[in-house]
Amino acid sequence: MSDLGDLYRELILEHSKAPRNFRQSPAATRKAEGFNPLCGDRFTVYLTIEGDSIRDISFQGSGCAISKASASMMTQAVKGKSAAQAGRLFESFHRLCTGQPHSNADAELGKLTVFSGVSEYPMRVKCATLAWHTLQAALEGKQETTTE
Amino acid sequence: MSVAAKSVSGAGFDVERARADFPILQQKVHGKPLVYLDNAATAQKPRAVIEAISRYYEGTNSNVHRGVHYLSEQATNEYEEVRRTAQKFLNAADPREIIFVRGTTEGINLVAQSFGRSNVQAGDEILITGMEHHSNIVPWQIVSDERAATLRAAPINDAGELDLEAFSKMIGPKTKLVAVTHVSNALGTVNPVRRMVEIAHSFQVPVLVDGAQAAPHMKVDVQALGCDFYTFSGHKVYGPTGIGVLYGRAALLEKMPPYQGGGDMILSVTFEKTVYNRLPYKFEAGTPHIAGVIGLGAALDYVNRLGLEQIGAHESELLRYATDTLSAIPGLRIIGTARDKASVLSFTIEDIHPHDIGTILDQQGVAIRTGHHCSQPVMQHFGVEATARASFGLYNTKEEVDTLVRAIERAREVFE
């Protein structure tokens, strides 16, 4: 039996209760809305891009603890990164959540490895990756995305 | 630890004996005994149903209404026998009024496409309620859009009950059909269908009743209700998936055009003209889900044997017990507090998203549904994105409600 503590790690719960960069950004240069029709989770990700780098990122919306904490920690992880770097980070994060982490995942993902427990809960992978899909859509200039 | 009273209901319903009829309930999930509280999504199947389907495939399998050979005759007899079982189950006047469909969704779509498209014109109205499942909204939207008609929804109050007065006022000369759920899947509300039919009929408006959440929990009598169409799904009444029943009043069905074309629904076909078969075959194109019908028959026999009154009484007691015990949990809000409710307990817990509740409960072997329950307008009415929903079946016990409560307490600990 998988332990609930592996999924609901302290850091995840803390971020879900007090999400960082949880605000609208009217001055954002890009934004996208992500929606998981299965559970109704809905987030908007706001980006301010300068040159090729993510100068500012914030999010708003509602969802479960996993999706909200993931969005919060994502904003911290990608701030200051280039679109390409953020894309690689998402790829690495996705592999972590689906139980196929890169060998150097710890170094690549840092604190985000706290989501490794998600791989034991296949139904929750979409929760953990919703904000990332939304970020990806915003970077690609799409207005909305869904996890279906 | 709470010590629960032994689960034998007042009406002498022996729940432990009934539980033994359901092989799936014997298993463990994540190392814990399965507590299956997702009956509004689908109910588990008693051995009688599983064996009836095996028996059919092992001994009777053949196409119906066609062959002159022994097996075909046997299969046809068994298939038609279930039609009479379903007729009695709903107390329909005539077996010709029983049409086998894939489920409630197809039953509603059949009426929308056949009755709707031939009766609804530009400017007409179709009236539903604010507590319908998407399957009793979208088929009417499709017809309304196609016909430039208007789909209207009678409001519900904060208990999740229909505003009957507003409903009455929304029926008028433009109304061509009322479609209403008998029991709400998201709230558990039992609608005053008989009264609603009276009101609609006083305007000569026919009424379709979505019985998906009612048929497993109460005796349905379509003649007493007076409704014109009634539809339910086999899989929620302990039968197989992919089979259901649509009841329609013969006088209406006779006038309605076919829903699908194909084999079995015709008397003769030439390239110039097709003569449609008589009722109910006009609405059963193609080889039907024969094994499903056999399984459905076994399921109806099973609940009849246990008695729907007894099942309903047992479930009401469970619902009352669960409502009382869950209400005592701090931060827990019950969504849907109608005076007349059946089987369903929808709730939210402060600061814990329903999806997280669902995962934590699952780890303790407790299966509930979380999400919008295909009733997004209901969620909007209550200002929530989603709820957690426990729904009870004939085999659930008070001990299982206690396990549910302990599992919710565990969720609160995780999020403390």
CATH number of the domain to which A75 belongs: 3.90.1010.10
Between CA B92 and CA B232 the distance in angstroms is: 14
Neighboring chain B residues of A119 at a CB cutoff of 8 Å: none
Minimal Cα–Cα distance from A22 to chain B, Å?
A: 16
- Whether residue A35 lies inside any domain: the answer is yes
Answer whether A39 sits within 8 Å of B356, measured CB to CB.
no
- Percentages helix, strand, coil for chain A (3-state, rounded to 5) are 50, 20, 30
Distance set, CA B42 to CA B176, B208, B354, B359 (Å): 32, 22, 19, 19
Of A4, A17, A39, the CB nearest to B360: A4
DSSP assignment of B162-211: B-HHHHHHH--TTEEEEEEESB-TTT-BBP-HHHHHHHHHHTT--EEEE-
Neighboring chain B residues of A130 at a CB cutoff of 8 Å: none
Chain A interface, mutation test: which of B28, B346, B352, B353, most A Cβ atoms within 10 Å? B353
Q: Is B284 in contact with B98 (CB distance < 8 Å)?
A: no
Q: Is B150 in contact with B127 (CB distance < 8 Å)?
A: no
- Whether residue A26 lies inside any domain: the answer is yes
Residue whose structure tokens are 């953020």 = A86
Neighboring chain B residues of A41 at a CB cutoff of 8 Å: 355, 385
Answer whether B353 sits within 8 Å of A64, measured CB to CB.
yes
* Residue B56: partners with Cβ closer than 8 Å, 6 or more residues away: B75, B78, B290, B291, B294, B295
Minimal Cα–Cα distance from B353 to chain A, Å?
A: 5
Q: Is A12 in contact with A69 (CB distance < 8 Å)?
A: yes
Q: What's the topology of domain B15-33+307-414?
A: Aspartate Aminotransferase, domain 1 (3.90.1150)
pLDDT at res. B416: 85
Virtual torsion, Cα B373, B377, B383, B387, nearest 10 deg: 0
Answer whether B31 sits within 8 Å of A1, measured CB to CB.
yes
Q: Is A64 in contact with B353 (CB distance < 8 Å)?
A: yes
Q: Does A148 touch chain B (CB under 8 A)?
A: no
- Whether residue A147 lies inside any domain: the answer is no
Q: Does A4 touch chain B (CB under 8 A)?
A: yes
Answer whether B359 sits within 8 Å of A1, measured CB to CB.
no
- Whether residue A146 lies inside any domain: the answer is no
Q: Cβ of B330: how many Cβ atoms within 10 Å? A: 7
Domain locations along chain B: 15-33+307-414, 50-305
Q: Does A11 touch chain B (CB under 8 A)?
A: no
Q: Cβ of B264: how many Cβ atoms within 10 Å? A: 16
Answer whether B30 sits within 8 Å of A2, measured CB to CB.
yes
Between CA A88 and CA A77 the distance in angstroms is: 12
pLDDT at res. A64: 94
pLDDT at res. B68: 87
Of A1, A2, A40, the CB nearest to B372: A40
Neighboring chain B residues of A123 at a CB cutoff of 8 Å: 359
pLDDT tens, residue order, chain B (416 aa): 344 444 444 557 999 999 999 999 999 999 999 999 999 999 999 999 999 999 999 999 999 988 789 999 999 999 999 999 999 999 999 999 999 999 999 999 999 999 999 999 999 999 999 999 999 999 999 999 999 999 999 999 999 999 999 999 999 999 999 999 999 999 999 999 999 999 999 999 999 999 999 999 999 999 999 999 999 999 999 999 999 999 999 999 999 999 999 988 889 998 888 899 999 999 999 999 999 999 999 999 999 999 999 999 999 999 999 999 999 999 999 999 999 999 999 999 999 999 999 999 999 999 999 988 889 999 999 999 899 999 999 999 999 999 999 999 999 999 98
How many domains, in total, are found in chain A?
1
Q: What's the topology of domain B50-305?
A: Aspartate Aminotransferase; domain 2 (3.40.640)
Same CATH fold assignment for domains B15-33+307-414 and B50-305: no
Amino acid (1-letter code) at residue B320:
R
Q: Is B160 in contact with B212 (CB distance < 8 Å)?
A: no
Between CA A68 and CA B261 the distance in angstroms is: 50
Altogether, the residues listed in chain A come to a count of 148
Neighboring chain A residues of B370 at a CB cutoff of 8 Å: 39
pLDDT at res. A142: 81
pLDDT at res. B6: 46
List, by residue number, the catalytic residues of B: 374
Output the pTM of the full model.
0.93
Chain B interface, mutation test: which of A2, A4, A42, A119, most B Cβ atoms within 10 Å? A4
pLDDT tens, residue order, chain A (148 aa): 457 888 999 999 999 999 999 999 999 999 999 998 877 789 999 999 998 899 999 999 999 999 999 999 999 999 999 999 999 999 999 999 999 999 998 999 999 999 999 999 998 999 999 999 999 999 998 876 766 5
Q: Considering only residues 100 to 139 of chain A, which have any Cβ-Cβ distance to chain B shorter than 8 Å?
A: 121, 123-124, 127
- Whether residue A12 lies inside any domain: the answer is yes
Between CA B106 and CA B208 the distance in angstroms is: 13
pLDDT at res. B5: 45
Looking at chain A, which residue has its C-alpha nearest residue B351?
Answer: A17
**Containing structural domain, residue A51:** 4-141
Between CA B77 and CA B95 the distance in angstroms is: 14
